């Protein structure tokens, strides 16, 4: 039987392509979640039904006989109308939302830490880019930047992602705790850790941050059509971290 051991290890040079890929994947996954939320919104469903009924009326697809089994089966003729309207509506939603999330993806990939992540996250003992693996299987990663803590007295979680299949296990909490413990114990000048939270898009991370003691900050960024989705700045202070670990 294959022995699969979970482990947390630091990023190595050979992992750079994987890191870039998953950083992009995480942001585009948020796009898929945002689109799905629009598809299931009552207004979107109502518009879909209204346009479908209009299309059926124009095509004269409503059954003319309501008697017997043939009358009931006549309604099957209307089904293509619902599909014909759904596809362009779904395309329209993705077309509207995609530029916002693609821009976030490009911004994340082009951040200073991603040019040479191994070198960047080796500048301070409180910083780190860690990968969680189960045997040889990639599970997720977290990147905490405390390189400027001497001036700002804070660290920043720049990247945090767990593969969907492992989120229900709570592995994200182990990975987050590993990064927080390293930052606070390796540096006495780090007084707080900041991160970005999007409850509507990454609920599995929101719950993880909440249980770790992070508090909502005052700043946020809106994204997507009409700014429907918000990314909030959250913060965990050293004193609150100590309380949660006692």
Alpha helices in 40-165 (DSSP H): 42-59, 68-73, 79-109, 117-120, 149-152
CB 93 within 8 A of CB 47: no
Same domain, 144 and 98: no
Q: Is residue 19 part of a domain?
A: no
Number of domains in the chain: 2
Same domain, 138 and 159: yes
Helix (H, G, I), strand (E, B) or coil at 134: strand
Q: Is residue 88 part of a domain?
A: yes
Cα separation of 139 and 132, whole Å? 5
Closest to 225 in 3D by CA, of 87, 21, 23, 43? 43
Tokens at 160, concatenated: 């945090």
Same domain, 119 and 190: yes
Name the E strands within the chain.
6-10, 128-134, 137-145, 154-162, 192-197, 215-223, 229-237
* Residue that terminates a domain, selected from 59, 90, 109: 109
Range of the domain at 215: 6-13+112-245
CB 206 within 8 A of CB 199: yes
CA 5 and chain centroid, separation: 26
pTM here? Answer: 0.86
pLDDT the model gives residue 1 = 43
pLDDT the model gives residue 224 = 74
CA 28 and chain centroid, separation: 8
Same domain, 181 and 241: yes
In tens digits, the chain (246 residues) has pLDDT values of 456 888 999 999 999 999 999 999 998 999 999 999 999 999 999 999 999 999 988 888 877 765 555 566 677 778 888 989 999 999 999 999 999 999 999 999 999 999 999 999 999 999 999 999 998 899 999 999 999 888 889 999 999 999 999 999 999 999 999 999 999 999 889 999 999 998 889 999 999 999 999 998 776 778 877 778 889 999 999 998 887 776
Q: Is residue 21 part of a domain?
A: no
Same domain, 209 and 227: yes
Same domain, 85 and 180: no
* Residue that terminates a domain, selected from 109, 129, 155: 109
Cα separation of 231 and 44, whole Å? 23
Same domain, 137 and 201: yes
Helix (H, G, I), strand (E, B) or coil at 169: helix
What CATH number does residue 145 fall under? 3.40.630.30
């Amino acid at each position: 039987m294959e022995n699969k051991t979970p482990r947390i290890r630091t990023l190595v040079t050979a992992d750079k392509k994987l890191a870039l890929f998953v950083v992009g994947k995480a942001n585009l996954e948020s796009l898929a979640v945002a689109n799905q939320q629009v598809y299931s919104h009552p207004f979107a469903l109502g518009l879909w039904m209204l346009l479908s009924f209009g299309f059926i009326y124009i095509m004269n697809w409503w059954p003319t006989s309501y008697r017997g089994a043939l009358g009931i089966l006549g309604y099957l003729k209307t089904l293509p109308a619902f599909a014909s309207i759904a596809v362009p509506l779904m395309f329209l939603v993705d077309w509207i939302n995609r530029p916002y999330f693609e821009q976030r993806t490009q911004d994340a990939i082009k951040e200073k830490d991603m040019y040479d992540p191994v070198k960047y996250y080796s500048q301070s003992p409180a910083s780190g880019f860690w990968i969680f693996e189960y045997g040889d299987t990639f599970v997720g990663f977290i990147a905490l930047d405390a390189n400027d803590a001497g001036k700002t007295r804070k660290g920043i979680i720049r990247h945090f992602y767990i593969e969907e299949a492992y989120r229900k296990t709570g592995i994200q909490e182990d990975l987050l705790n590993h990064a927080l413990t390293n930052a606070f114990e390796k540096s006495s000048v780090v007084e707080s850790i900041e991160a970005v939270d999007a409850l509507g898009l990454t609920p599995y991370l929101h719950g993880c941050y909440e249980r770790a003691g992070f508090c909502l900050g005052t700043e946020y960024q809106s994204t997507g059509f009409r700014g429907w989705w918000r990314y909030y700045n959250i913060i965990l202070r050293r004193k609150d971290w100590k309380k949660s670990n006692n």
